[in-house]
A and B are shown apart, each in its own frame.
Chain A
Amino acid sequence: MMNQEIKTTPTVKNGGRLFRNDVIFIVALLLVVSALGLCFYFFRGEGDKVVVTVDGKEFGTYSLAEDVKVEIRTGAQNEEVNVLVIRDGLAYMETATCPDGICADHKPISREGESIVCLPHKVVITVYATEEEDAPDIVV
């Protein structure tokens, strides 16, 4: 037992120097990410339409301005169901038959670029904005 403790002493000392590096590393990481987050937050406005894709292929486009309820049926026998609801300019997954139900727990989305993903059913719901500002990017 005594031997053990003597052996561990150098690593504890070493740990002090490493610990400082850890703090620097973690703070740097968080700073970079929060900077990115702020950029994203300020550069994206409210979206006005929702595009649903299933397995990478477009399923449909819906306006955020109208309240609708869409049944997205997927799977070989159309046995997998996700119910997308748009109400008061917010889109959310009301119910889903996927095993984890993560998409149904997701908060309602309305900002450009926000998305709700149902990995088991390969369903992606993304908010887009049809703005004039985007046009120059496409021209070039």
Chain B
Amino acid sequence: MLTVTPLHFLILAFVLFGIGFLGLLIRRNILLMLMSLELMLNGINVALVTFSRVGNNLDGGIFVFFIMTVAASEVAVGLALLVALYKKRKSVFTDDMALLKN
């Protein structure tokens, strides 16, 4: 019978990253794009923890810790920017943000 190997965890990490990338490309709502970015970071975290567990080395776990810190501050700044943008443009969609296009 099939048992779970580290490869399963790595494939899951890649799938999570791919789903986040897909969401980043096909959604137009900036809130959902930020959430897809979080999903991509989660895929990276799964891969790092797997490597840390398999390689018997704590450095990967520590890096997950720092990635969580950076992700939290990124979300805080991104959402503040989004609220500021919403007050100016009254929209959260990327179609309405084409200020520099023409």
Partners in one complex: no
A residues touching B (Cβ–Cβ < 8 Å)? none
